[in-house]
Amino acid sequence: MNITVIGATGMVGSKVVAEAVKRGHVVTAATRSGKAVEGATAVAADLGDTAAIVRLVDAADATVIAVPTDRTGGSPEPVITAHRDLIAAAPTGRLLVVGGAGSLVVDGAQLKDDPGFPAAYKSEAEAFSTVLDLYRGSHGLDWTLISPAPEIAPGEAAAEYSVADDSPAGDFVSSGTFAVAILDELESPAHRGGRFTVAQ
């Protein structure tokens, strides 16, 4: 498969690239800087450049978008706008979007709305809840959104993982396990047009 990873040098994106290369896929690694990524063809692309992203998406068998919001105190709006504009542009290629855990539902409420939800992650959680709603409201797109467990951290892949739809499948997932789940979904689609979550 020809797979493009946008945000290819981040915690999740770098693991997705490595896992895809390991499985023998042809990988295009897109970053704002065009930084070289081992085993992949590097290209420079910004998620906010809708025309460029559409070209990448439509040229691939599947595209993983693993771009977080600004974590230095900047506004999350550019990421929301980028996804809104991408949806409006109606690419024909397949999308797998890495979302957040804050939109997962426990006892009828999203995690981001729990009084104990960490304030440092609230802005990003709100943003990716909006992004999920945008994809759910879209028509004609081939999309999937994957949310991590409430806690995700760098680490190697576990031997197995659990899957759920809108409620947490567990408390923790490593970036390596998360990447394995993403590649498994790309190779054997089970959640097209919807959201799922994984934990180990």
- The backbone region for 173, taken as left when phi is positive above 0, alpha when psi lies in -120 to 50, beta otherwise, is beta
Non-local CB neighbours of 20 within 8 Å, separated by 6+ positions: 3, 5, 27, 183, 186
Number of domains forming the structure of the chain: 1
Q: What's the confidence (pLDDT) of residue 39? A: 94
Beta bridge partners of 164: 197
Measured at the CA of 40, the angle between CA 38 and CA 42, to 5 degrees, comes to 100
pLDDT tens per residue across span 29-73: 999 999 888 899 999 999 999 999 999 999 999 999 999 998 777
Domain that holds residue 51: 2-199
pLDDT tens per residue across span 151-164: 999 999 999 999 99
Q: What's the confidence (pLDDT) of residue 141? A: 97
Per-residue pLDDT band for 171 (boundaries 50, 70, 90) equals very high
Is the pLDDT score of 177 beyond 90? yes
Beta bridge partners of 143: 95
Q: What's the confidence (pLDDT) of residue 36? A: 83
- Distance, in Å, from the CA atom of 105 to the CA atom of 96, rounded to the nearest integer, reads 20
Residue 25 C-beta-side C-alpha neighbours within 13 Å? 23
